[in-house]
């Protein structure tokens, strides 16, 4: 993943399009340094901000939103007056609520990193980055969320498909993450948590590195993951923890669960994206209608992924991930990370 959210006032942007093996990339690329300390020139009329030395964390904003909602309920119940100030920590529930985020629209999730949760919420629910070229239809088939993290994409899909005829399978091999995933999806009808990862070969125990500060960057590609975090300027003195998880092949999973049609396969697995696709046998490709992946382009991985999907009959659209502005905050994705969204759609979708 290697992505961050930072508070800033402006940024100089330039537009550029490139071709990746004949596939158009129409990304908007923000000109940004990749270090943890950023000095950004603002647009006309906006003064340049001072260097920013830390990531934006939404802990205060989230906890305040939750506290404000709870205080409103207490006012309505007559427990406190409308002008009563309740300090953080005064309410015993503050300690518990610090692990949760909510959007004010009914979505409430347990998170591991509040900063990452906020970034993913923007990526999935607001910008709908995975759905720019895909559609979801009631009765259109099941959804496979490979690299589900804490479950935000699965929750997004369930909001779009409320009929529950289409099942959602969420795959996450790292125990510290899939335990949270399980709790977030425990009351969501038609969703199934698969506590293992997917790859080209089955393995009962693979080594992963788990990052509590950014669980979405957890990976079994240890060197690749460390290189990404170096680009982001992250101090690895207190780096990731080694853990183990199971890997299965996607074709085996499809047969185990009797899945006959997949309307969307979403893959965000921190370096294993090509391996996930290689776990699909020839006779099973016809059940997949749409595929969207995040691809880290090292060792020609992007070209290999796009070529494989094109051979399987998909129209492929590639978009490089770039930094974007959201309500005065910078969603930071340095171009050096070489992260791409790959959208693959069959002609009949």
Q: What angle separates helix 175-185 from helix 152-160, to the nearest 10 degrees?
A: 30
CA angle 228, 229, 234 (to 5 degrees): 155
Nearest to 319 by CA among 294, 337, 342, 293: 342
**How far is it, in rounded angstroms, from Cα 253 to Cα 262?**
12
Q: Tell me, what's the pLDDT at 232?
A: 82
**How far is it, in rounded angstroms, from Cα 175 to Cα 185?**
15
**How far is it, in rounded angstroms, from Cα 229 to Cα 1?**
9
Name residue, tokens 């609520």: 97
Nearest to 216 by CA among 143, 134, 296: 296
Count of all residues that appear for the chain in the document: 349
Distance set, CA 120 to CA 3, 18, 101 (Å):
10, 26, 12
Per-residue pLDDT of the chain (349 residues; tens, 9 = 90+): 565 554 433 222 222 233 333 333 333 333 222 222 222 222 223 232 222 222 222 333 343 443 444 455 555 666 555 554 434 334 433 334 459 999 888 899 999 999 899 989 999 999 999 999 999 999 999 999 999 999 999 999 999 998 888 999 999 999 999 999 999 999 999 999 999 999 999 999 999 999 998 899 899 988 888 888 888 888 665 578 999 999 999 999 999 999 999 999 999 998 999 999 999 999 999 999 999 999 999 999 999 999 999 999 999 999 998 888 766 677 778 888 899 999 999 977 6
pTM as predicted? 0.75
- CA max distance for the chain: 66
Name residue, tokens 């509040």: 114
Nearest to 57 by CA among 116, 119, 115, 123: 115
Region of residue 164 (phi > 0: left; psi between -120 and 50: alpha; otherwise: beta):
left
Q: Tell me, what's the pLDDT at 53?
A: 25
Q: Tell me, what's the pLDDT at 64?
A: 40
Q: Tell me, what's the pLDDT at 82?
A: 52
**How far is it, in rounded angstroms, from Cα 213 to Cα 21?**
35
Question: Tokens at residue 296, please?
Answer: 């880290």
Question: Tokens at residue 232, please?
Answer: 């982001």
Q: Tell me, what's the pLDDT at 10?
A: 29
Distance set, CA 304 to CA 25, 33, 36, 299 (Å):
16, 29, 32, 9
DSSP codes of every residue in 219-237: BS-HHHHHHHHHHTT---T
DSSP, res 189:
T
Backbone CA torsion sign across 297, 301, 304, 310 = negative
Question: Tokens at residue 168, please?
Answer: 């959602």
Collect all residues with Cβ–Cβ distance below 8 Å to 274 and sequence separation of at least 6. Answer: 295, 301, 304, 305, 308
For residue 6, the surrounding DSSP H or E stretch is: strand 4-7
């Amino acid at each position: 993943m290697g992505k961050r959210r930072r508070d800033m006032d402006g940024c100089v942007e330039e537009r550029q399009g490139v071709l990746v093996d004949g596939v158009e990339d129409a990304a908007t690329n923000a000109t940004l340094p990749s270090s943890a300390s950023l000095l950004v020139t603002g647009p006309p009329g906006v003064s340049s901000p001072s260097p920013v030395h830390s990531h934006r964390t939404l802990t205060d904003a989230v906890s305040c939103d939750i506290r404000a909602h709870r205080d409103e309920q207490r006012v309505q119940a007559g427990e406190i007056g409308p002008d009563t100030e309740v300090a953080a920590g005064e309410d015993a529930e503050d300690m518990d609520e610090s692990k949760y985020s909510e959007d004010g629209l009914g979505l409430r999730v347990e998170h591991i990193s509040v900063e990452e949760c906020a970034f993913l919420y923007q990526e999935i629910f607001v910008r709908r980055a995975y759905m720019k070229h895909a559609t979801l239809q009631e009765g259109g088939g099941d959804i496979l969320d490979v690299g589900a993290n804490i479950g935000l994409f699965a929750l997004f899909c369930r909001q779009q498909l409320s009929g529950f005829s289409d099942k959602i399978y969420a795959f996450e091999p790292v125990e510290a993450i899939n335990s949270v995933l399980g709790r977030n999806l425990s009351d969501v009808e038609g969703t199934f948590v698969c506590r293992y990862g997917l790859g080209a070969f089955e393995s009962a125990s693979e080594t992963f590195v788990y990052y509590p500060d950014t669980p979405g960057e957890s990976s079994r590609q240890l060197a690749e993951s460390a290189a990404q975090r170096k680009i982001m300027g992250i101090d690895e003195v207190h780096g990731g923890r080694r853990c183990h998880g199971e890997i299965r092949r996607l074709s085996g999973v499809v047969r185990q669960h009797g899945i006959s049609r997949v309307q969307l396969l979403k893959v965000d697995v921190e370096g294993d994206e090509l391996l996930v696709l290689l776990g699909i046998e020839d006779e099973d490709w016809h059940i997949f209608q749409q595929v969207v992946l995040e691809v880290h382009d090292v060792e020609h991985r992007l070209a290999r992924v796009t070529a494989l999907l094109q051979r399987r009959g998909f129209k492929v659209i590639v978009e490089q991930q770039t930094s974007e502005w959201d309500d005065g905050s910078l969603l930071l994705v340095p171009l050096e990370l070489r992260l791409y969204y790959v959208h693959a759609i069959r002609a009949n979708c």
